[in-house]
Structure 1
Amino acid sequence: MLRLFRAHWDEEDILFYFEVDAEGWVTRQIELRGPELVPIAAASLTEWQEAQKAGKLSRYEATYGMTADSPVHEWEGYDPQPLTLSDFESVWRQARRHLELTR
């Protein structure tokens, strides 16, 4: 079962959107920076793994970034706010479009 939530990291003023699997691993991650909410990442774990196997990891990361490298149950100091799938997908599409056009 997927879980969707967002959380804000005050130190860097980044709003994170997460799609997390049943084991707590991030399967998709969006990062929006500053008050303008500029997309700086919109990564998929599946796509990242495929890029790694194809030898195109650096290109993928340069365009989309990467997902968190530890499960959410190991994280501290974040305040998850639940999201609907519709909300997540809307932000995902916008962030991906922005990253594809600017990188």
Structure 2
Amino acid sequence: MTRWFRSYWAEEDTWFYFEADADGWVTRQAELQGALEKPVAAASSTEWKAAQQAGTLADYEATYGATAEMPVHEWDAHEPQDLTAEQFETVWLTARATCQARARARSTHRA
């Protein structure tokens, strides 16, 4: 069963939003940082693996970040708060759009 939750890490002033599969592995992850909850990552493990195989991992991570590479039980110490699928999806879509816009702005500045 898929699980959605968020966890706050004070030392990074970041909310981590997770979608985890039945085995506890992160399938999608979004990160919001600071008081304004600025989106800084929105990564998919499926996309990350595909980028790794294609040799484009650096570009993928520069745009979307990376997902955690450990089961979600590791976040129990960070007092996870359960989310609905809809709550996660709202954050995911916003963070994803922000990451894509930032990548477009970077490529425009390089051209």
Q: Where on the TM-score scale, by shorter chain, does this alignment land: which range?
A: over 0.9
Distance in structure 2 (CA, Å) of the matches to 1:86 and 1:93: 10
Q: Structure 1 88/42 Cα, relative in aligned 2: closer, same or farther at 3 Å?
A: same
TM-score norm. by structure 1 comes to 0.95
One-letter amino acid matched to 2:86:
S
What aligned pairs does 1:4-83 form with structure 2 within 5 A after superposition? 4-75=4-75, 77-83=77-83
SS of the aligned residue for 1:99 comes to: helix
1:78, distance to aligned residue in structure 2 (A): 1.1
One-letter amino acid matched to 2:46:
T
Structure of larger gyration radius: 2
Calculate the aligned-residue CA RMSD, in Å: 1.0
CA contact (8 A) 2:29 2:43 kept: yes
Percent of aligned positions that are identical: 57
Distance in structure 1 (CA, Å) of the matches to 2:67 and 2:55: 18
Distance in structure 1 (CA, Å) of the matches to 2:29 and 2:59: 17
1:76, distance to aligned residue in structure 2 (A): 5.2
1:74, distance to aligned residue in structure 2 (A): 3.6
- Higher helix fraction: Structure 1 or Structure 2? 2
User: Which aligned runs of 4 or more in structure 1 are off by greater than 3 angstroms?
Assistant: none
